C-alpha cells in the first residue's frame, strides 16, 4: 500500500505540472478522491490490516486526501485568476468593446483637479529650489508623533483623531509632517524640500473638513532663518498660486514640533478668511531628533491644506465634492484647464 500511496503522490505532481484545464482538474479530483476514486478504495482496504499498520496508513491516507484536495483547489483558483486577468487585459486593450473598462460617451477625461494642483505646486516649489519627497500613507507612531515631539500622553494627539491599525503602533498618517523626519534622515542643512500627500483623520466632515485630504509639507533649514522669512515665503507662495494679490493674516497656534506655532489664513478680494496652513519655527527638540544643531541652524516648517487651495481658487462651496466621484463636478475643470473660465 505504501507504494500505491507514493504512486498517487507522484501522479498528482505530474498531472499538476502539465498545466491542466479546469475539466482535467475536476476529473483528476474525481479519479483520486471521488466516491469510487483511488483513495476511498485504499481506505476500504485498511480494514484487512493489523491494528498498528491500519493506524499508520490511515493517517497517511488522510493527509494525502488533504494534500490532493488543497492542491487541486489551489490550481483551480489560479486558473480562475488567470482567466480574470486575461478578461481585464482584453477590455483594457480594446476600449471599443462592449463592457470594456472604459466608460462610454466621455469625451473629456482628464486628471483630477487635486492631481493637477499638486503638479502645479510641485512645479512652483521646484522653481524655488525645493526637492520633492514622498512618504508612506501607513506610518508608525515614531514618525507621526514621537519624533515630532508628541509623546504618548500628550494632549496634542487628541487634535488629530487617528485611524490606528490593530497593532496599535501603525496608523494612517494624520499629517505630512512625518515627511520632515524621513527627509532629514539622509540630509544635512541647508535643506529645502516639500512632501505633498494624502492624510487621514477620523473626524466629522463639514464644508471645510474631510476625513481624508491632501497636505503639502514644507521644510526650510539654513542659518539665520526667521519668522519674517516664513511670512514672506507664505505670501509669495499664495500669490504665485492665485496669480493675484491676496491678503494673509497669522494667528498664534500650537503644534508641539514648532515654536512659535502659527496658523495662516488667507482671503481674496475682501472675502471670507480661510485657514490655509499650520506652520512655525522648527522646535529645538525636533532639530535634535533630525540631527541638526539648533544653535547653528534654524528653520521653518509648514503644512498646507491643498484641498482648501482648490476650494478658494474656484469658490467651491464644499470640500466633499472633491471626493464625491460626481462627474458633473470634475468635468468642469477641463474648461478651466483650457482657459475657458477666469478665476
Ligand atoms: C497640521 O497638520 C500640522 N502638521 C501642520 C504643520 C506643519 C504645523 C509644520 C507646523 C509645522 P493642521 O491640523 O492645522 O496642522 O492642518 C494643516 C492644514 O491642513 C490646515 O490649515 C488646513 O488647511 C488643512 N486641514 C486640516 N484639517 C483638514 C480637514 N479635515 N480637511 C481638509 N483640510 C484640512
Which is it for strands 212-222 and 298-305: parallel, antiparallel or unpaired?
A: antiparallel
Sheet order of strands, 247-253 included: 131-132, 191-200, 212-222, 298-305, 274-282, 258-267, 247-253
Mean per-residue pLDDT for 58-86?
A: 92
DSSP letter at 208 equals S
Distance CA 125, CA 291 (A): 24
What's the burial of 63, exposed, middle or buried (CB within 10 Å: 0-12/13-18/19+)? exposed
Q: Are 305 and 114 in contact (CB under 8 A)?
A: no
255 lines ligand 1 (CB under 6 A): yes
Nearest atom, ligand 1, residue 160 CA? 13
Q: What is the pTM of this model?
A: 0.70
- 122 vs 168, residue with greater confidence: 122
Ligand 1 contact, 183 CB (< 6 A) = no
Q: How far is the CA of 209 from the centre of ligand 1 (A)?
A: 10
pLDDT tens column, 213-258: 999 999 999 999 999 999 999 998 899 888 889 999 999 999 999 9
Contact criterion met (CB below 8 Å) for 195 and 133 = yes
Show the cell assigned to 187.
540630509
pLDDT in tens, 309-322: 999 888 899 999 99
Q: Is the CB of 275 under 6 A from ligand 1?
A: yes
- What is the rounded CA–CA span in Å between residue 39 and residue 49? 16
What's the DSSP call for residue 152?
A: T
In the numeric block, the cell 527627509 is attached to 183
How many whole angstroms from 146 Cα to the centroid of ligand 1? 18
| Substitution candidate for ligand 1 out of 154, 175, 227, 304 with most atoms within 8 A of CB | 175
Task: Select from 204, 278, 302 the residue to mutate for testing ligand 1; criterion: most ligand atoms less than 8 Å from CB.
Answer: 278
Q: What are residue 248's DSSP bridge partners?
A: 266
Which of 143, 159, 202, 277 gets mutated to test ligand 1 (max ligand atoms within 8 A of its CB)? 277
Q: Which pLDDT score, from 0 to 100, does residue 182 have?
A: 94
Give me the residues paired with residue 219 across strands.
193, 301
Q: What are phi and psi of 216, to 5 degrees?
A: -130, 115
Does ligand 1 come within 6 angstroms of the Cβ of 162? no
For the stretch 249-271, pLDDT in tens is 999 999 999 999 999 999 988 88
Please give the distance, rounded to the nearest whole angstrom, from the Cα atom of residue 306 to the centre of ligand 1.
Answer: 9
Angle (CA) 61-63-66 rounded to 5° is: 110
| Preceding peptide of 190 cis, ω within 30° | yes
Q: Is 279 in the pocket of ligand 1 (CB under 6 A)?
A: yes
Residues 289-343 pLDDT 10s: 889 999 999 999 999 999 999 998 888 999 999 999 888 888 888 655 555 444 4
Looking at residue 342, its pLDDT comes to 43
Amino acid at each position: 500500500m505504501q507504494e500505491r500511496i507514493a504512486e498517487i503522490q507522484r501522479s498528482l505532481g505530474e498531472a499538476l505540472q502539465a498545466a491542466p484545464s479546469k475539466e482535467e482538474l475536476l476529473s483528476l479530483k474525481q479519479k483520486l478522491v471521488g466516491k469510487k476514486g483511488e483513495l476511498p478504495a485504499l481506505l476500504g482496504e485498511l480494514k484487512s490490516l493489523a491494528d498498528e499498520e491500519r493506524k499508520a496508513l490511515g493517517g497517511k491516507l488522510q493527509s494525502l486526501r488533504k494534500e490532493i484536495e488543497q492542491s487541486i483547489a489551489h490550481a483551480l483558483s489560479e486558473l480562475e485568476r488567470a482567466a480574470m486577468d486575461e478578461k481585464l487585459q482584453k477590455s483594457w486593450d480594446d476600449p471599443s468593446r462592449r463592457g470594456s473598462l472604459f466608460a462610454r460617451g466621455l469625451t473629456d477625461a482628464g486628471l483630477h483637479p487635486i492631481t493637477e494642483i499638486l503638479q502645479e505646486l510641485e512645479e512652483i516649489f521646484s522653481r524655488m529650489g525645493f526637492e520633492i519627497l514622498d512618504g508612506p500613507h501607513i506610518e508608525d507612531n515614531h514618525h507621526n508623533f514621537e519624533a515630532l515631539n508628541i509623546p504618548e500622553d500628550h494632549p496634542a494627539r487628541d487634535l488629530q483623531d487617528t485611524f490606528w491599525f490593530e497593532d496599535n503602533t501603525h496608523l494612517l498618517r494624520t499629517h505630512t509632517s512625518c515627511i520632515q523626519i524621513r527627509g532629514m534622515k539622509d540630509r544635512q542643512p541647508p535643506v529645502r524640500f516639500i512632501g505633498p500627500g494624502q492624510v487621514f483623520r477620523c473626524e466629522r466632515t463639514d464644508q471645510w473638513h474631510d476625513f481624508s485630504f491632501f497636505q503639502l509639507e514644507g521644510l526650510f533649514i539654513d542659518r539665520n532663518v526667521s519668522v519674517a522669512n516664513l511670512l514672506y515665503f507664505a505670501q509669495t507662495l499664495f500669490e504665485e498660486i492665485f496669480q493675484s494679490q491676496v491678503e494673509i493674516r497669522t494667528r498664534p497656534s500650537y503644534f508641539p514640533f514648532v515654536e512659535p506655532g502659527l496658523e495662516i489664513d488667507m482671503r481674496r478680494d475682501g472675502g471670507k478668511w480661510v485657514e490655509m496652513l499650520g506652520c512655525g519655527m522648527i522646535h529645538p527638540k525636533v532639530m535634535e531628533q533630525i540631527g541638526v544643531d539648533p544653535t547653528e541652524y534654524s528653520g521653518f516648517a509648514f503644512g498646507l491644506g491643498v484641498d482648501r487651495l482648490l476650494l478658494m481658487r474656484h469658490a467651491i462651496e464644499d470640500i466633499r465634492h472633491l471626493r464625491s466621484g460626481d462627474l458633473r463636478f470634475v468635468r468642469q475643470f477641463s474648461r478651466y484647464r483650457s482657459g475657458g473660465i477666469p478665476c
